[in-house]
Each structure stands twice: as structure tokens, then as C-alpha cells.
Amino acid sequence: MGETAGFPAFRASVADALSGTWQRDTFDHLVNTAGFGQMSMFEDTTEELFDKFMRVLLKGPYFLTQTLLPLMADGGAVVNVTSNSALSTGVEAGYSAYATMKGGLTVLTRYMAKEFSRRGIRVNAVAPGSTRTRISDDAFERFPEVIEPIEAKTAFGRVGEPEDIGMMIATLVSEESRWITAQSIEVSGGYGL
């Protein structure tokens, strides 16, 4: 996501796959979920790390969506995966740069929803809490001691699983969510309650 120069070639490969595999020239749903996480206190955040967060977490989804939008079917749906770190419920020290970009993606979601509405394309965001993924080089595997404090701050008493987030994304791209757009939905199991 941080290398926008490759997006036109990716678009061409998507168009080829649509035509060759599915005999169509459009797709219905785009989920911007690629990213990375890294803790860095405000005073220790380098300009290089800040720029990397910007490229991957905000610039990448912006320009990938722009590149793929001509291939998207009218009436489709986009879901941007943000983070509860950008919400008041998820503020934790060490994530100022990461959360700033995820917050920018939340704002971008509303603007995409506004501009894409003329084509009937819905755009929403999900803001996961701590979820057991491979982010941060498998942080939950490498640092299992962080799990218990996260569980203690979560109403449901556990860390999220990828399926918890995936079910919400599937709901947002489904026909049942046809009247929902420009929303950011926290999917954190009640983190901070």
C-alpha cells in the first residue's frame, strides 16, 4: 500500500482477472485493510516512521481506491479499516502517529461516501480494537503478556479475532446494509467500557 507507483499495474491485473475469470468488467466491493502497526512515543517518532504511516495507512487507501474506482460497479461498497486508536475509547500512549493516519482514513471515508453516492456506492469504516492478527510482526505471539491487560479493558473480556472484524465487513458490503453509508463503526468488544 505504500508504493503507489504499482497501482496502475495492479489495476490492469484486476481488470484482466475480472475479464478472464469472471467474464465481467467491474467488481462490487473494495476493502482497504492493508497496514502495519508500530508503537512509538510522540517524542521518539521519526519523520521517516511518520511518513511510512502516512504512505501505508492514508495515502495508499486514497490512491488505490482512486485507481480502482473506474472498475467498481455502481451500487457497490467500500469499507475502510481504521482503528479504535483514532477514537476517544482507544487512546493509548505510543500510537499518536498511527492513530492520526487512521483518523484521517475515518474522515476520508465520509468524503468518499459523499462523492461516490452519485454512483450509489456506499462507503463505511470499521474501527477494530486489539485483534489477534499478524500485525506488528505477530506481536501477540511475541508478547503474550500484553493480552491479559487488553482483555481486562474489554467489556467482553477477550482480544478480538479476525472473524469478529470480518463479520462486520461482510455485513457492511451486503444488501442488508444498502442504506448505510458514511459511518464509522467501532468493532472492539467494548474496549474501554
| Residues carrying an active site annotation | 98
Residue 124's closest CA among 172, 178, 71? 172
C-alpha cell at 65: 481506491
Helices 96-116 and 60-68, axial angle in degrees (round to 10)? 20
Distance CA 77, CA 120 (A): 9
List the beta bridge partners of residue 47: none
C-alpha cell at 146: 500484553
Instruction: Please identify which residue in the block is written with the cell numbers 467488481.
Output: 27
| φ, ψ for residue 87, nearest 5 deg | -105, 160
